[in-house]
Chain A
């Protein structure tokens, strides 16, 4: 175990510079530290001007996504000891505008998420007195994996299509749309189909598969997208052959 380790962190201070730079910080190595601990140590003791987002520090809030040695990771779940001897490169997530240092602007995703209507849509709501909506464990199983998404945006940062085509709706949004489409309580699949089958919807995806690789919650957005492509295509064929059909 080395006695000290270095972090090379991307800095961007718009009031001072027009391009990001790198700054290296060296500090004593602690084998149980994650990258987030190191960043907090840097901010507390070495350089208070370093800016970054974090919250729960246990992998459920999705705030601390950054690139560690080029790969998008949750910094609260990335151990320093896996990257020895260092120096470890920490950069902001790709394909989002950098506001400052390691902080990126996520408005684009927030807008797209709202567009896919990630809530239960019903033609008629049950009154509370009529009881709950019942769901079997098998019905839960069809969408549970997609409900694990913590909106950490690592998938957007890994998706080259999103980088090349910023209007692409993106892996997490589609996975979350699928989470609601597959929910037995939901009746809104037709509404979501419209936004998802646009040019910048599911058809932009070419199944690179990077999103699934980096997802810390094993949501498998790539799988969700391909499954939805099949559903979308069969719906299209059905609507062609049975234009009067009730769906």
Chain B
């Protein structure tokens, strides 16, 4: 675990940057503007067409998986420090990074196979 800490920190930083730069606009559109009708949501056909491009798929992969690793690393330390759950440290690490890996795998699987 110790030897890959630099890698986990790099993933955390990259994920945090992706989340800081891209999440506000995506979240504003998908979570607020489209459901509330302020702006017109893109149609299924339009999005599906976008998804056929490799660039879109790479973009979405980064957009979803890196922030998950950002959460995993940060949340693990928040539980460790904030709630002083030191005796559960291995379990917490496994659950956090494991969840991020699962999310990444699901994203890759869905993006791989778009007709």
Contacts and interface: CB of A to CB of B under 8 A. Distances in A.
A237 interface: yes
Contacts of A206: 74, 77, 81
A160 B78 CA distance: 12
Contact of B6 (A160, A164, A199, A237): A237
Contacts, number: 27
B7 A236 contact: yes
B9 interface: yes
Nearest to A232: B6
Q: How large is the interface on A (under 10, 10 to 19, 20 to 34, 35 or more residues)?
A: 10 to 19
Contacts of B5: 197, 199, 203
Interface of A is mostly: helix
A238 B81 CA distance: 31
Contact of B84 (A164, A203, A229): A164
Interface string A225-244: 00001001101110000000
Residue among B2, B5, B74, B77 with the highest chain A CB neighbour number at 10 A:
B5
A159 B91 CA distance: 26
A198 interface: yes
Interface in B1-42: 2, 5-7, 9-10
Interface of B is mostly: helix
A206 B76 CA distance: 11
Contact of B2 (A161, A199, A233, A237): A199
B27 to A, nearest CB: 24
A233 B81 contact: no
A225 to B, nearest CB: 12
Contacts of B77: 206
A198 B9 CA distance: 14
A32 to B, nearest CB: 42
Nearest to B5: A203
Contacts of B74: 206
A243 to B, nearest CB: 14
Interface of B: 2, 5-7, 9-10, 74, 77, 81, 84
Interface of A: 160-161, 164-165, 197-199, 203, 206, 229, 232-233, 235-237
Given A160-B81, A165-B81, A198-B2, 10 more contacts: A161-B81, A164-B84, A197-B6, A203-B5, A206-B74, A229-B9, A233-B6, A233-B10, A236-B7, A237-B10
24 contacts: A160-B81, A161-B81, A164-B81, A164-B84, A165-B81, A197-B5, A197-B6, A198-B2, A199-B2, A199-B5, A203-B5, A203-B6, A203-B9, A206-B74, A206-B77, A206-B81, A232-B6, A233-B6, A233-B9, A235-B6, A236-B6, A236-B7, A237-B6, A237-B10
